[in-house]
Amino acid sequence: MSTTSQAPLRFTSHHNLVYRLVLSTLTGRTVHISQIRSSSPTNPGLSPHEISFLRLLEAVTNGSQMEISYTGTILVYKPGLVTGSASGSGASGGVITHELPSNCNRGLSYYLIPLCLLAPFSKAPIKILFTGPGVITSSTPTGDMSVDSVRTAILPLYNQFGIFNNIELRVLRRSNPGPNGRGGGGEVQFTFGHQVRLPKTLHLMNPGRIKRIRGVAYSVGVSGSNNARMIEVARGILNPLSPDTYIFSDVSSAPLLPAPDKNNPNAKKKIGLGFGLSLVAESSTGCLYSADVASPPSGGQPPEDIGKQCAFQLLEVVSKGGCVPPAAATTMLTLMTMGSEDVGRLQLGREVIADPNVIQLARDLSKFGVPGWGIRDAAGENEDGDVIVSVVGRGIGNVGRKVA
């Protein structure tokens, strides 16, 4: 895993920054990323949520080195070993406390999904408590899914790779985006205790038929009747298509953040008010499709519209075909690449593989020296036609885990 003998891989722009850092950590290659928002006249360089992710990466690794230019437009990252909560900075009793700043406008899934990719290759279990004024547990206007969808639609996919023990994601305090879509004051506990030497080779080529739909409707600091109104509209659309539909309702109070002033130094303010809906459809072969909609930070959208929008969004994701939705495709393909040196196969819809994030991942993997993907049409009666993606595992493995 020595990185000194090889020249750093060079990338430009902030797009796909997180996945480039994850691939750098897993493969042990140094990366040099330049032109990070260099053309922005007001906010050049790394954003607060990207700085926070770098700090998280530093906490779960040992020996990582990061060099950031004065303007923040150039980042050089030399990866270390993924040690988990064993010796992370800020660890207390084996749990790393990671605080997000109030000017963070990304949902917590922005941190959770890449962290889940690193966790199986860690030396020790990863236990993190996300806290602070910047934690947003709902979906966001920037396109992040909610923590509920990560728990019900992303984490179960790790079963396909033989990773399923001691994985837990608990929402201790819910929150929606605050004013201007920034911060929420939530609190989430994440535990990933199943470390493997190599992920299993995956062959997933049968989408099956949708057999059940589950969901979570949540209201934070607003009337619980919003949940009932969202659920009624969503069930009205989904029940004729799938009778086995159940949506759980969760009502919680709004988080309180300190807001001292001259008259009252102990004053607090409510933040993260709103409501939203997370839906997950499960097929007969275990494939999962998710949809997420939350009330906008500016308000003004009735819960009926949220329920209707989320239900139709779920149907649209299912209609794209394949065994994996766009939100989970990058996770599955990355794990297949890191697996044992064998050919894994995954069926994807044409719209899914044409997603810009998937295309960018393929380009980045190629630059990291990973063999390319093989793509062929899937044999079936689908009018649009899915494709089979064949991925050759690189056998990266977990260098921190002892061979039994």
- pLDDT tens per residue across span 110-148: 999 999 999 999 988 999 999 999 999 999 988 899 999
Radius of gyration of the chain (CA): 21
Q: Please indicate, yes or no, if residue 339 is contained in any of the structural domains.
A: no
Q: Which of 403, 375, 346, 361 is nearest to 26 (CA)?
A: 361
Measure CA 327 to chain center: 8
Residues 34 and 138 in one domain: yes
Say what the alpha-carbon torsion angle 297, 251, 126, 182 is, to the nearest 10 degrees: 10
What would you measure as the largest C-alpha separation in the chain, in angstroms?
A: 71
Residues 70 and 121 in one domain: yes
Q: Which of 141, 110, 230, 127 is nearest to 170 (CA)?
A: 127
- The whole-number pLDDT of residue 1 equals 45
Q: Please indicate, yes or no, if residue 297 is contained in any of the structural domains.
A: yes
- The whole-number pLDDT of residue 260 equals 78
Residues 162 and 231 in one domain: no
Residues 126 and 237 in one domain: no
Residues 13 and 56 in one domain: yes
Domain total in the chain: 2
- The whole-number pLDDT of residue 19 equals 93
- The whole-number pLDDT of residue 380 equals 64
Residues 220 and 106 in one domain: no
- CATH number, domain at 91? 3.65.10.20
Q: How far is CA 379 from CA 74, 186, 227, 336, in A?
A: 46, 46, 42, 22
Q: Residue ranges of the chain with pLDDT lower than 70?
A: 1-5, 86-93, 380-384, 397-404
Interacting residues of 394 by C-beta distance below 8 A, sequence separation 6+:
27, 337, 338, 339, 341, 370, 371
Q: pLDDT (tens digit, 9 = 90+) per residue, 330-377?
A: 999 999 998 888 899 999 999 999 999 999 999 999 998 877 788 988
- The whole-number pLDDT of residue 187 equals 93
Residues 277 and 224 in one domain: yes
- The whole-number pLDDT of residue 272 equals 85
Residues 20 and 165 in one domain: yes
Q: Which of 172, 134, 140 is nearest to 274 (CA)?
A: 140
User: What is d(CA 216, CA 218) in angstroms, rounded to the nearest whole number?
Assistant: 6
Q: Please indicate, yes or no, if residue 90 is contained in any of the structural domains.
A: yes
Structural domain range at position 220? 210-320
Phi, psi (degrees; rounded to nearest 5) at 377: -70, 140
From 320, 354, 386, the end of a domain falls on: 320
Q: Please indicate, yes or no, if residue 344 is contained in any of the structural domains.
A: no
- CATH number, domain at 230? 3.30.360.20
Q: Please indicate, yes or no, if residue 132 is contained in any of the structural domains.
A: yes
User: What is d(CA 255, CA 266) in angstroms, rounded to the nearest whole number?
Assistant: 15
Residues 234 and 180 in one domain: no
Q: Please indicate, yes or no, if residue 396 is contained in any of the structural domains.
A: no
Q: Please indicate, yes or no, if residue 221 is contained in any of the structural domains.
A: yes
Residues 94 and 170 in one domain: yes
Residues 43 and 151 in one domain: yes
From 169, 204, 239, the end of a domain falls on: 204
- The whole-number pLDDT of residue 2 equals 45
From 297, 320, 343, the end of a domain falls on: 320
- Determine contact, residues 224/253, Cβ cutoff 8 Å: no
- The whole-number pLDDT of residue 5 equals 66
Residues 167 and 217 in one domain: no
* The two structure tokens encoding residue 174: 């819910």
